[in-house]
Chains A and B, each alone.
Chain A
Amino acid sequence: MSNVVMEIENLHARIGAKEILKGLNLQLEEGKVHAIMGPNGAGKSTLSKAITGHYDVEVTEGAIRYKGQEIVDWEPEDRALEGIFLSFQNPVEIPGVNNAYFLRTAVNAKRKHQGLEELNAAEFLREMKALVQELGMKPEMINRSLNEGFSGGEKKRNEILQMMMLQPDLIILDEIDSGLDIDALRAVSEGINKMKDGKRSFLVITHYSRILDYIEPDYIHVLKDGKIIKTAGPELVAELEEKGYGAIEEA
């Protein structure tokens, strides 16, 4: 077995007074692609929020260990600087914050954290521009306000752009495939595949097998009612498509 990059143990978490994660266990391996599938409202996005330190989610019990360290008390920015990245199911719009300025600030915060020299505006723009083209985004996106007025698909591509610029170690993709047209799905999947380097780990939350055809997961986990109830290889996808979640019993 490869090294474990993240180990989630007996995680209980709530939003407001409502317990959403109810003793969830999950191990993510270095260099592997893990897919999470599960019914609406099962707690998939809540899990991604718990990992990234979202203010809505309160962890009441259990542990999240990342590269051997317990991160439940870490600030969101520290988790990000240490390599955790979440592509949001619904990225927020931030009017008045220039997309390029935002991303350069983020990239340079990370470079500074790693003891690297900051990129100047020209170097940064050269890289960003190249990736924008690769992802089939309109060049004007560079100087628009962050996500403001972006279509659903444009927002998702912008998340992937950020992922590619930030070069994280653990990438969580929350329904990156929803709302994407066929070309966008291909561009986004190619972007993700390019990021695979045998070290980097992925947690892909999805409802559809289509994206999994492109990015070939190593493991499929089924999340239902706040717990991982089954873990198997990619062959599970076909079974789920056929029988639905109702047929999966807690192991």
Chain B
Amino acid sequence: MRPMLLGEMTPETLMEELGTSPSKALAARRLAQLGMPTRKSEAYRYFDIEPLMAHDWEILRNEASAEIAESEEQIVITDGRVTALPKGVEVQVGCSDAIDLDGNHFDPLYYLGHLLSPEVISIRFKEDAKVTLVHRFTQPGKLLAYRTAIYLDANTHVQIDERFEGEQACGALILSGSDVFISRDATLTLIKDETLKEGDYVPILSHRIKVDSQALCRLHSFDFGAGSGLQLIRVQLHEHARIDADHLLYATDHARRGTVSQIVHIGQSSVSNQRAKNILAEKARGIFDALIKVEHTGKYTKAHQNSKAILLNDGAYMASKPQLEIYIDDLEASHGSTTGQLDEAQLFYLRSRGIAKEEARKMLILAFANELIDALEDERMRERLHASFETAYWGVTNVTCMETCHGCEDLAAGTAAK
């Protein structure tokens, strides 16, 4: 395929290029309505999308690998192709016609991603599972587009630990993301951990998450480092459905990084709880541009949204826009946003006990981040994310048991009893 200037593409030329199918036609129509992203696009108003759109991309095309390794608990997708699978997880690779596209996504690149993806990697969970989903990128400087779809059958409880490996893919643009379908009474815990260095690939991850009646989605995103990237998430909540979404961002250098989201309460008595914590250093810009929308049908909804940011340097900046759009009266809703510096009184207290300034700052930053790390139920995940955060912030990790576990009380009690 010839190189593509995304900014100059039209849905028509894309259709010509890519052939037609019903879901591609829908994607093309929606893309035409939304238009290719520019500086003026709602979804990208705080993210510097234009250089990416103006770049002459070579699209990465991989042949399906014949070899799919069997793994313990990892699903590995390398450059958009499944390369390893655990036993018992059903994965189908098929064209995007097989999936039910979101006809109302706000993100044009959700549709462009679908248009450019040769097929969709569908992962279906029929029973409870804990898996690791590794996205591996190996090709520098190219555009990689692929989509995944995740299905949870009714009543299943699944934890997905999503990781990214892309040291070799510097300068690449990744247009990806998942269409997630959580059936009745099912629970999905999705933990995303992505640390980017400056010059790494740029991920634009565009998701849609459909939470059926009485189903629960727990979303924990951990975005760290000096590289740029954006996650765009549209959530649909049906009757008695619930989402708890936590976003911890630590961005430094010239990173532009964050979350653009839309949570739509469709069914009554649905619940959303979204918390963002943002730590911004050097000249980084954090983005939390989040809308909660309660439809006429969303009676007795509870919707809470909060964003807190700490700016560690004068050049750091937080674009925080929590918004509520409500079409009914019968609901409980709140939203708020604060941006500030490290608390001087707290810093002084620690230093007055002999703790060096840098160490004291680190303790306070960790304390700020801890709330969202400690919200992870899985203790091993908590430890891993503590270590990830420390490594991103400090360069090394020396997480000790006292920072992460709460078993020390037992230890203290045990040793004192002797």
Q: Give the interface of A toward B (CB within 8 A).
A: 52-55, 75-77, 79-81, 85-86, 88, 91-92, 94-98, 100-106, 109-110, 113, 121-122, 125-126, 128-130, 133, 139-140, 142-143, 145, 162, 166
Whether the pair A97, B363 counts as a contact (CB closer than 8 A) is yes
**Interface assignment of B416: CB less than 8 Å from any CB of chain A:** yes
Contact sample, A vs B, 26 pairs, CB 8 Å cutoff: A52-B352, A76-B348, A77-B351, A77-B352, A77-B360, A80-B351, A86-B352, A91-B349, A92-B343, A92-B345, A94-B349, A94-B350, A94-B364, A96-B371, A102-B350, A102-B355, A105-B355, A106-B354, A125-B408, A125-B411, A125-B415, A129-B413, A130-B416, A143-B406, A145-B367, A166-B354
Q: Is the CB of B412 within 8 A of A101?
A: no
Nearest CB of A to B17, in Å: 51
C-alpha gap A118/B345 in the complex (Å): 27
Contacts A81-B354, A125-B415, A126-B415 supplied; 12 other A-B pairs, CB < 8 Å: A54-B348, A75-B351, A77-B352, A77-B355, A77-B356, A85-B352, A94-B364, A96-B367, A121-B408, A142-B412, A145-B367, A162-B353
User: Which chain A positions have C-beta within 8 A of B406?
Assistant: 143
Query: Is B8 an interface residue when CB atoms closer than 8 A count as contact?
Result: no
Known contacts A94-B364, A100-B402, A143-B408; is-contact A105 B352 (Cβ 8 Å):
no
* Distance, CA A106 to CA B367, complexed state (A): 16
Q: Mark B355-368, 1 if CB is under 8 A from A, else 0.
A: 11101100110111
Given contacts A92-B345, A105-B363, A129-B412, contact A80 B352 (CB under 8 A): yes
Instruction: Please judge, given known A-B contacts A100-B408, A101-B403, A129-B415, whether A94 and B367 are in contact too, CB under 8 Å.
Output: yes
- B-chain residues with CB within 8 Å of residue A88 when the two chains form the complex: 349
State A231–B406 Cα separation when bound (angstroms): 50
Which residue of B349, B400, B412 is within 8 Å of A128 (Cβ)? B412
In the bound assembly, the distance between CA atoms of A94 and B351 in angstroms comes to 13
| Bound: A139/B411 CA distance, A | 12
The closest CB in chain A to the CB of B407 belongs to A143
Question: How many pairs of residues, A versus B, come closer than 8 Å at their CB atoms?
Answer: 114
Main SS class of interface, B? helix
Interface residues of B (CB under 8 A from A): 343-346, 348-357, 359-360, 363-364, 366-371, 400-403, 406, 408-409, 411-413, 415-416
CB <8 Å contact, A122 and B411: yes
**Which 7 A-B pairs give the minimum distances between C-beta atoms?**
A96-B367, A80-B354, A106-B353, A125-B412, A76-B351, A101-B402, A129-B416
Task: Report the Cα distance A97→B370, complex, angstroms.
Answer: 9
Known: A98-B402, A125-B408, A129-B412. A110 touches B354 (CB 8 A): yes
Give CA–CA (A31, B188) in the complex, Å.
Answer: 63
**CA gap between A122 and B359 in the complex, in Å:** 22
Q: A92–B349 contact, CB under 8 A?
A: yes
Provide the residues of chain B in CB contact with A162, threshold 8 Å: 353
**Docked-complex contact B415 and A77, CB < 8 angstroms:** no
Minimum Cβ distance to chain A for residue B389 (Å): 13
**Across the two chains, which residue of chain A brings its CB closest to B363?**
A97
CB distance from B45 to the nearest CB of A (A): 32
Q: How far is the CA of A228 from the CA of B42 in the complex (A)?
A: 64
Nearest opposing residue in chain A for B417, CB measure: A129
Q: Which of A81, A85, A110, A143 has the most CB of B within 10 A?
A: A143
